[in-house]
Amino acid sequence: MLLARQIRGLRRTGIQFFLHALVPPSLRMSDDTERYRHRIFMQLCMVLGIPILLFFGISDLGSERPFVNAAPDFAVALLFMIISLLLRKIQHDLFAIRTSMLAISTLLLLNTFHGVGENASALWIYTLPVFSAFLFSKKEGLMWTLFTAGGAIFIVGGGEAIHAYPYSSSFSFRFATTLILVTILTFTMETLRHKFWRQLQEQKLLVEKKNRELSEQAFALEKALTEIKTLSGLLPICSHCKKIRDDRGYWSDIEHYIISHTDAQLSHSICTTCLKEEFPKLYNEMVRNGEIDESTNAEIIARSK
């Protein structure tokens, strides 16, 4: 168990170090997920592509046409080094991505035209639809694919008629068929990925909205609870003066106790019993005016409709 946790920790540390080396910290703090994955993919292609191109260039130096075969490899490797450095400095990286795509497309088409490595050079064309679909929008990716894949099919199929390397008819047919199939599958998968990603973003926004609403409701509920004051339990009240004893043992007038323990506001009046005893004339006058029901001794309150 301890060894497994240490391995997982080393793996996590290695991945974090690798991402830190590929992407600048300013971009890692960004919320632009698409741009982040583009940067990761481009830098990864640079890290893997530069040594591969240098190896191919050195290998081609011993071929029959060393300049024609090796020069494009060295040129694109140098360009990738420059772009890799620029990607860590510039913020608007679409220009760098398009430049890299143009360079690698031109290199592969030239190698296919000259037949570098015989049939092997044409097989690298299969990577271009993947790059186009991953790095660009659907419309722009299709344009890049038509340019690269269409050019490669034209070169392989044309052969000696366009002074290119003479590929066999069997290889030309299989190459064109499989390249079209790879292109269709790549863009179908990328379209589905983008669709599901958009749905996840919409669900994320909906969840965030619901969380904000729940937080606001919880805050309003807590605020309401803090403002509510109620009286409950057994209240000791004096049978003579009607004062109420609080928790500290002090006796307070009932008016003061209610105001201090609730949000109620009191207004003084006089009940009909006290009115009859203290002000009998006013009581009789209110009875005659129909303001007091003498049978129940209840005050009649006029209600406006």
Determine how many CB atoms are found less than 10 A away from the CB of residue 87: 21
pLDDT reported for residue 206: 92
> Looking at the predicted structure, is the pLDDT value of residue 236 above 80?
yes
pLDDT digits (tens, 9 = 90+) for 278-296: 888 888 888 888 777 767 6
Task: Enumerate residues 6+ apart whose C-beta is below 8 A from 146.
Answer: none
Q: Which range scores top for mean pLDDT: 125-134, 154-163, 177-186?
A: 177-186
**What CA–CA distance (Å, rounded) separates 197 from 79?**
33
pLDDT reported for residue 184: 92
> Looking at the predicted structure, is the pLDDT value of residue 115 above 60?
yes
pLDDT digits (tens, 9 = 90+) for 19-59: 455 555 554 544 466 777 777 777 777 778 888 878 888 88
Whose CA is closest to 296, among 285, 287, 175? 287
Q: In this predicted structure, which of 91-95, 157-161, 219-223 has the lowest mean pLDDT?
A: 91-95
pLDDT reported for residue 90: 65
pLDDT over 90, % of the chain: 8
> Looking at the predicted structure, is the pLDDT value of residue 166 above 70?
yes
**What CA–CA distance (Å, rounded) separates 89 from 192?**
33
> Looking at the predicted structure, is the pLDDT value of residue 304 above 50?
no
The full 3-state SS of the chain, as one line of letters, equals CHHHHHHHHHHHHHHHHHHHHHCCHHHHCCCCHHHHHHHHHHHHHHHHHHHHHHHHHHHHCCCCCHHHHHHHHHHHHHHHHHHHHHHCCCCCCHHHHHHHHHHHHHHHHHHHHHCCCCCHHHHHHHHHHHHHHHHCCHHHHHHHHHHHHHHHHHHHHHHHHHCCCCCCHHHHHHHHHHHHHHHHHHHHHHHHHHHHHHHHHHHHHHHHHHHHHHHHHHHHHHHHHHHCCCCCCCCCECCCCCCEECCCCCEECHHHHHHHHCCCCCCCCCCHHHHHHHCHHHHHHHHHCCCEECCCCEECCCCCC
Once rounded to an integer, what is the mean pLDDT over residues 188-201? 87
Once rounded to an integer, what is the mean pLDDT over residues 56-77? 77
**Single-letter amino acid code for the residue at 133:** A
Q: In this predicted structure, which of 6-15, 137-146, 266-275 has the lowest mean pLDDT?
A: 6-15
**What CA–CA distance (Å, rounded) separates 234 from 236?**
7
**What CA–CA distance (Å, rounded) separates 245 from 237?**
6
> Looking at the predicted structure, is the pLDDT value of residue 227 above 70?
no
pLDDT reported for residue 303: 39
Q: What is the mean pLDDT of the chain?
A: 77
Determine how many CB atoms are found less than 10 A away from the CB of residue 115: 20
